[in-house]
Every structure is written in C-alpha cells, then in structure tokens.
A and B are shown apart, each in its own frame.
Chain A
C-alpha cells in the first residue's frame, strides 16, 4: 500500500537554529515528490518538486533533497516567518494517486 509518513509531527526552533524535516514514502512507483507550506486558515502553497534520487532544490532558507526512500526539507537559520505546517506529497506512477503526509508543524521562536 502506498504510504507517506512525516516526522516529527511538531518542531519548535529558536530563530537561527537549523534543522531538517523528514518525509518517508513507500510507493509502487514515484512520479514526483512535492513539498508544500500551509499557513493557518489557508490552503497549501507549492514549494518544490523532486523527481529522482539525488536531486536537490533550494529556495531562500529551504533546501529539499530526495533519496529512494525519503526526502528531507532542510531549514537553514530559520526566521519566525518560516513558522507553518510543511506537507509533503507523492505522486505515484502505478495508481496515479497524489498522497499527502500528515505534515510537520514548525514554530520558530524569536
């Protein structure tokens, strides 16, 4: 069964304290892995797409990486405005499903 698991569920960081969020997946075939940011009361906002193991994408303080079993979202020197829920989703090639994880709630303290 296709499955996406994110960890940790919640993370509190001090401003400037770098860390990583994890997205583990088990799918029959991967068309792509997506990272989204979701602010309270809003829909998810697209951040990155990764297609193959070894691929990396960067945007400001965020860098996403992909292996054959998991993806990491690295946050370097975070700021309070980076506080949000970060969701990953996998697009499967076998069933052509788009499956979201449950997200990591990030809180960055000033």
Chain B
C-alpha cells in the first residue's frame, strides 16, 4: 500500500503568488486532515473532512486558504495569495474515521517556502 501521497514535496514561490498542494489518502479512509507544521512545532489542524464534507475548518484562514475534497477521495489545499508567514510544512493525513484507534497516517508533507 502506497500510504498517504502528497505532492509536490517542495515548493518555493514569491509572496502574493498562488500555490496548491495535493493529497491522495489511503484507500478506504473516510477522514482526511490538512495540518500545518512550523519549524520546531507540532502540527496544527487546518481542516478536517468526513468524506467530502468539511466538518472542522475553524482554524483555516479563509481569506486566503481554500480546500476541497471532490468525491471524498483526493484533496487539494490552496493558498492565494501566499504571504511570508505561510512558509511551513503542510501535512495531509487520513484515518478510517475520526475515532481511529490507530492514530492517523501522515504523508511526507509539502515544504513551502515563500520569498
């Protein structure tokens, strides 16, 4: 099994430019999460999906961030326009459901650098 797949692995963009990240979760996992991890910090939740429904987006900066999970499988996270403070690692994770006994399975993340 491939695990959670994210792309790209790295992205460098100038401020005010748009950027998008893609995530393919583990097959059969209904719950998908996007996290942001700053250097030396733990991951912070941006948005949680149950199938195709965004059930917790309270920490998503909606003025510039958007996400979608079409057909309840793949997901895309977009930032437009990017700011210097958005530089971080963006992690996607999935689980069978929100009460998974086995924690979440994370992808390797996308490291975003905004210059």
Contact = CB atoms under 8 A, between A and B. Distances in A.
B108 to A, nearest CB: 5
A102 B105 contact: no
B85 interface: no
B98 A43 contact: no
Interface in B73-115: 91, 93, 98-99, 101-109
Interface in A59-110: 87, 89, 96-98, 100-103
Contacts of A46: 102-105
Interface centre among A36, A45, A46 (most CB of B within 10 A): A46
A41 B9 CA distance: 9
Contact of A31 (B42, B99, B103): B99
A44 B104 CA distance: 9
A42 B108 contact: yes
Interface string B15-58: 00000000000000000010000001111110000000000100
A49 B104 CA distance: 11
B102 A96 contact: no
Contacts of A25: none
B108 A49 contact: no
B102 A49 contact: yes
B42 A96 contact: no
Interface of A: 4, 31-32, 34, 36, 41-47, 49, 87, 89, 96-98, 100-103
Given A41-B108, A97-B45, 13 more contacts: A31-B99, A43-B106, A43-B107, A43-B108, A49-B101, A87-B42, A89-B103, A96-B56, A96-B98, A98-B33, A100-B43, A102-B40, A102-B42
Interface of B: 4, 33, 40-45, 56, 91, 93, 98-99, 101-109
Q: Which 4 A-B pairs have the closest CB atoms?
A: A43-B106, A100-B42, A46-B103, A34-B103
